[in-house]
Structure 1
Amino acid sequence: MKTSIKLGVAALALATSFSFSAKAQTTTQSTSTERSGVRLSVGPEVGVPVGSLKDGYNWNFGGSIQADLPIYNNQLYATVNAGFNNFFAKDINGFKGENLQLIPVKAGLKYFAASNFYIQGEAGASFVANKDKVGADKSAAFVYAPQIGYLIPLGGKNYLDAGVRFESNTKFVDNGNNSNFFGLRLAYAFGL
């Protein structure tokens, strides 16, 4: 079974289990109050390239910082996210290419569908930090990233934010393909 299919099945299973566990718990006023307000999160990200990106790269590692700004009833938030991803180049026939380094800057919406389970969608621009080394024609490309996740309460306004997402960049090279990957973000989140 291909890696992308495995990751897709794992993400679906994760979403389903979070949804059922969230429905089984009762929602209290204190949980809603603790989750209210502006929240910042920072943490590492790992991912697996899919599509044509997997032909030249094994995996990626990076990190991001995100702000969640409440819009409506502690269920809908606006998000602003900036990060860094390093895609590690494969060794192909004794030749190893350059790592691809991207700096995505995105904004979007996060909706809490049940208790601490959320659905998030973001879009923005992704910048190539090492354009000349990787032979990119463009410095920036459009990026979008749908994500599902769960806030695990740590006490007070502190959470562990675990999310799985698919991220896609449009072409950095005129005759190339999109840069797509499945990623996992595990971040420490705290309310202000």
Structure 2
Amino acid sequence: MMKKVIFTAIGTLVLSSAAFSQTPYNKGFRLGLGLNGGFPTDGDYDGSLGIDARLQYDFTKKTSITLTSGYTHLFAEPEEVGFVPAKLGFKYFLGNQFYAMGEAGAAFGVNGNIDNSLIVAPVFGFANKYLDASVRYEYYSDYETDQIALRLAYGFSLKKKK
């Protein structure tokens, strides 16, 4: 009896997800312009401040890929660090307007004695037609530090209206 219930539930789930995946959706690009700031988890610097631009391509209502770049400045004594991040991400909407995203990429140091670094960042956020607000944990491999960062952005569709 239990096997029949399990197989029926799995079958229903598979069929309903197949039907949902065939729902037409207007794929397209979005652009977000954001401000972000962060606080270190290890005390190696005093904080960060940055700007970014995020290009997003929506595959479905729930899935998107992102490309993010900008400038981030880590405030520290005696040496401050500035870098240009380049991150590729995958965004998945959990329902309503909340999403989870994973990003990975590189930080290209702009100070003469600062190396480049790997960046890895899990993100949780909220987005609607124009606003994107998120919190992320960001790890920098070669800077030997990490941070909790907040991002607030204005986003809009790049698709022409008919």
Q: What TM bracket, shorter-length normalisation?
A: 0.7 to 0.9
Corresponding residue of 2:111 = 130
**Where do residues 18-37 of structure 1 align in structure 2 (5 Å cutoff)?**
37=28
Aligned match for 2:118, one of 121, 142, 166:
142
SS in 1 for 2:28: coil
Deviations 1:103-160, CA, capped at 9 Å, x for gaps: 110001000011111001010111111142xxx4xx21111111000014xxxxx411
Q: Which runs of 5+ in 2 are unaligned?
A: 1-23
Corresponding residue of 1:85 = 72
AA paired with 1:185? R
Query: In the alignment, does 2:50 pair up with 1:62?
Result: yes
Deviations 1:64-85, CA, capped at 9 Å, x for gaps: 10011012x2110011000211
- The higher radius of gyration belongs to 2
Corresponding residue of 1:115 = 96
Tell me how far apart the structure 1 counterparts of residues 73 and 85 of structure 2 sit (CA, whole Å).
11
Equivalent pairs counted in the alignment come to 135
SS in 1 for 2:142: coil
Corresponding residue of 1:102 = 83
Aligned match for 1:188, one of 132, 154, 157:
154
Q: What TM-score results when the alignment is normalised by the length of structure 1? A: 0.66
Q: Which runs of 5+ in 1 are unaligned?
A: 1-31, 90-95, 153-157, 173-177
Corresponding residue of 1:168 = 139
AA paired with 1:99? E
Tell me how far apart the structure 1 counterparts of residues 71 and 145 of structure 2 sit (CA, whole Å).
14
**Where do residues 8-27 of structure 1 align in structure 2 (5 Å cutoff)?**
none
AA paired with 1:85? T
Tell me how far apart the structure 1 counterparts of residues 117 and 46 of structure 2 sit (CA, whole Å).
21
AA paired with 2:54? Q
Tell me how far apart the structure 2 counterparts of residues 166 and 74 of structure 1 sit (CA, whole Å).
25
SS in 2 for 1:171: coil
- Contact 2:27–2:57 (CA<8 Å) still a contact in 1? no
- Contact 2:64–2:90 (CA<8 Å) still a contact in 1? yes
Q: What TM-score results when the alignment is normalised by the length of structure 2? A: 0.77
